[in-house]
Amino acid sequence: MNHPLLKLFSRRELVRGLGALAGATGAAALGLAQNNAPAEHSGGSGHAAAATVAAKGMSAADHGSNVVMGVVDPETNGFDPMQMLVDWDYGKVSKLPGGQTLREYEFVASEKEIEIAPGIFFPAWTYNGRVPGPSIRCTEGDRLRVKLVNGSSHPHTIHFHGFHPANMDGTPLPGNGGLVQPGDSYTYEFDAVPFGCHKYHCHAASLKRHIHKGMYGAFVVDPKGGRPPAREFMMVMNAFDTNFDGGNEVYAVNTVGFEFAHRPVPIRRGELVRIYLMNLVEFDLLNSFHTHGIMFDYYDHGTTLEPTLRTVDTVAQMQGQRGIVEFRAPYTGPFMFHAHVSEFAELGWMGHFNVVEEAGWAEALSRVGLTAEWDKRGLDGATVAWKGGETA
């Protein structure tokens, strides 16, 4: 076997060559052995630069350099995924003659270019200039009055999940309220029942496009007796098909990919954390939510006071499914949370919790640009079932 040709081209490589040749150009049909050993590092200038990046990226442990370059300035979008975790919208509150609490909202549909990952802009359709739209928060039995003003160039609707009369369903079906044409408006009015972790979205056709363009949001109805006090977050799992090929390029929670990997979400060790989680991803059948180092209870649709799943660390949600996640983190430190669909995680649906003791709380907040106001809003959510109600 010391003939140069035989040494050069081993049997194994020949076989591989035949297989790999399918894509080779015609004249390239003659294969060539891939038996050169891995090249030694020559320390060329180009490699030195690459090595620096590698070293920087690899500091993120097992996920290596799976990051986006740069950050999204919340000023650009006019909304901040971190603030969206806690910015419940209780509406304009008043009392109806019978004593029922009335919450009034105005949603303006508009077209807006939003930055969904650093440097990547998406031509979104929005409610009130944000994706997801306002997070409606109310108590079971409240009267909701939501006026949709269509300031965009396409017809839209608002379709709420939950019990309501047919003409408040917000679909093009005759008797369902119909499409709200550009320049027109329509007011959806119904009682908020049942309590749960609900959502709303546009139901104009094409449904896929109107949803993945950004027309959706949280609709959380608290039980009359409220839920135990907790730090509460609103997380909409969403994604964007930037090249309109029927598959998503960027996955996220609250719109901006990798945002919570750049800015870990602060929580206190041992405190009760409640996440209103919903899946608004289009095109993919399933999405999921997975916590590291933490097991949680799960309330599917949030329509029960008892968990529907206990002590799990991964839960799947199909398109439009949602539920409530509750946990207490037993250890301090950085912990990932992400879709346990690895593809989505690597395309942006990746975040971190920063679990700290009381002593580290202020630092954890300031590190990601948060103030005491964010802290307060996060804790207030659960205790304001009555907010604007009894006090008004």
Partner 1 sequence: MTREPESKENRWGGFGWVLALIPLLLLGLVLAYLVATGGGLRELAGPPLERVKIERITLPAPGVIRLEVVNDGPQEVTIPQVLVDDAYWAYTVTPSNTLPRLGRATFTIPYPWVAEETHRVVLITSLGATFEGEIAAAVVSPRPDASLFGRFALVGLYVGIVPVLLGMLWYPWMRRLSRPAMNFILSLTVGLLVFLAVGTYLDANEFAAQLPAFWQGVPAVIFVALIALGALLALGARQRGEVGALELSYRIALGIGLHNLGEGLAIGAAFALGEAALGTFLVLGFTLHNITEGVGIAAPVVRKSPGLGHFALLCLVAGGPAILGVWIGGFAFSPVLATVFLAVGIGAILQVVWEVGRLVARDSAALGQPLVNWVNLAGLTAGIAVMYLTAFLVKF
Residue numbers of the site for Cu ion (CB under 5 A)? 156, 202, 204, 210, 215
The CA distance from 166 to 381, in Å, is: 30
Binders in 73-132 for partner 1, by CB under 8 A? 117-122
> 185-211 burial string, b = 16+ CB within 10 Å, else e?
ebebebbbeebbbbbbbbbbeeeebbb
215 binds, options Cu ion, partner 1, none, Cβ within 5 to 8 A by partner type = Cu ion
- Choosing from 106, 326, 346, 380, the residue that interacts with partner 1 (CB under 8 A) is 346
The CA distance from 325 to 234, in Å, is: 10
The DSSP bridge pattern shows strands 135-139 and 216-222 to be parallel
Q: Select 72 or 280, whichever has its Cβ closest to partner 1.
A: 72
The CA distance from 203 to 206, in Å, is: 8
202 binds, options partner 1, Cu ion, none, Cβ within 5 to 8 A by partner type = Cu ion
Q: Select 16 or 269, whichever has its Cβ closest to partner 1.
A: 16
- Report whether 210 contacts 241 (CB < 8 A): no
25 binds, options partner 1, Cu ion, none, Cβ within 5 to 8 A by partner type = partner 1
Q: Select 12 or 292, whichever has its Cβ closest to partner 1.
A: 12
Q: Select 215 or 385, whichever has its Cβ closest to Cu ion.
A: 215
Instruction: Report if residue 258 touches partner 1, rule: CB under 8 A.
Output: yes
Instruction: Report if residue 6 touches partner 1, rule: CB under 8 A.
Output: yes
Region near partner 1 per CB under 8 A, out of 48-56, 170-178, 195-203, 223-231: 48-56
Which tokens belong to 39?
């090249």
Exposed (0-12), middle (13-18) or buried (19+): which is 266, by Cβ within 10 Å?
buried
Q: In 3-state terms, what secondary structure has residue 109?
A: strand
- Report whether 133 contacts 116 (CB < 8 A): no
29 binds, options Cu ion, partner 1, none, Cβ within 5 to 8 A by partner type = partner 1
CB 198 → Cu ion: shortest distance, Å? 18
CB 250 → Cu ion: shortest distance, Å? 20
For 86-174, where are the E strands, in sequence order? 88-89, 92-95, 101-117, 120-127, 135-139, 143-150, 159-160
204 binds, options Cu ion, partner 1, none, Cβ within 5 to 8 A by partner type = Cu ion
1 binds, options partner 1, Cu ion, none, Cβ within 5 to 8 A by partner type = none
- Report whether 245 contacts 209 (CB < 8 A): no
The CA distance from 167 to 157, in Å, is: 12
CB 374 → partner 1: shortest distance, Å? 27
- Choosing from 46, 98, 99, 174, the residue that interacts with partner 1 (CB under 8 A) is 46
Which tokens belong to 119?
């440097």
Instruction: Report if residue 54 touches partner 1, rule: CB under 8 A.
Output: yes
The CA distance from 249 to 68, in Å, is: 13
Q: Select 234 or 239, whichever has its Cβ closest to partner 1.
A: 239
CB 37 → partner 1: shortest distance, Å? 8
The CA distance from 385 to 195, in Å, is: 11
Region near partner 1 per CB under 8 A, out of 142-150, 163-171, 346-354, 380-388: 346-354
- Choosing from 70, 78, 225, 246, the residue that interacts with partner 1 (CB under 8 A) is 70
The CA distance from 17 to 14, in Å, is: 5
CB 204 → Cu ion: shortest distance, Å? 4
Which tokens belong to 176?
């369902």
218 binds, options partner 1, Cu ion, none, Cβ within 5 to 8 A by partner type = none
Helix, strand, coil shares of the chain, percent, nearest 5, are 20, 35, 40
Q: Select 225 or 246, whichever has its Cβ closest to partner 1.
A: 246
Binding site for partner 1 (CB under 8 A): 4-6, 8-9, 11, 13-18, 20-34, 36, 38-39, 41-42, 44, 46-47, 49-54, 56-58, 64-70, 117-122, 240, 242-243, 245, 249, 257-258, 343, 346-348
